Structure 1
Amino acid sequence: AVDDVIVTVYSVSGSSVVSRPTSGPYHMFNNQTSVFTPAKLQSQLVSGAPCAGILLVEVDYNYHQVLALPWLAPFVPDPVLLRAYTIMPLSAAEPVCS
């Protein structure tokens, strides 16, 4: 199986995004890589955003088709990789801002 759950914590201080801990994200099975980087998150921040902690959870799931219809095989792989993510605040990761 190539399913995975990736949990990453980030600290946002001014215009910089830092991964916490610096060792990187937690992978449940270490089968996938995160689609988010500190640079990608930083590019999505609003100018003047307050200091914050961010928790990012990504879930990768391979869905094995039940019918596996042969005429869909050239267009839809089996299994189909489904990816979902959520981003939420995490007060424990907030940096001290002045």
Structure 2
Amino acid sequence: MHIITRKKILDFAERYPECSTALDAWYRIVKHTGFGNFAELRGVFPNADQVGGFTVFNIGGNKVRLIAAVHYNTQRLYIRHVLTHNEYDKKNGGKADVTGGKRHYPDLAGY
């Protein structure tokens, strides 16, 4: 997939160098893999969730949330935000939780 834009990953890794290895691994996997749909993506990233029109990736042992718009038809992934778990929870009013074995996130309309 073509990833737009890597700069958000690099900027985040500069602020949080302890996450750079995990982000680099995520980037390499996505760049060299074509996903036809969310089910295929989830086969590689089982902790990814669809929230509205976005895909939320849990990266680095649940330390990083990468929010992206994935366009399977054009093989493009647009990175909207890269956040720490705490930053993500603060933006969502602390409402991200696990309910009945499934993750629940509030609407990401603010992203």
Kindly indicate which of the two structures has a greater share of residues assigned to helix.
2
Comparing both structures, which one devotes a greater share of its residues to strand?
1
TM-score (norm 2): 0.24
Length-normalised TM-score, structure 1? 0.25
Choose between structure 1 and 2 for higher RCO, CA contacts under 8 A separated by at least 6 residues: 1
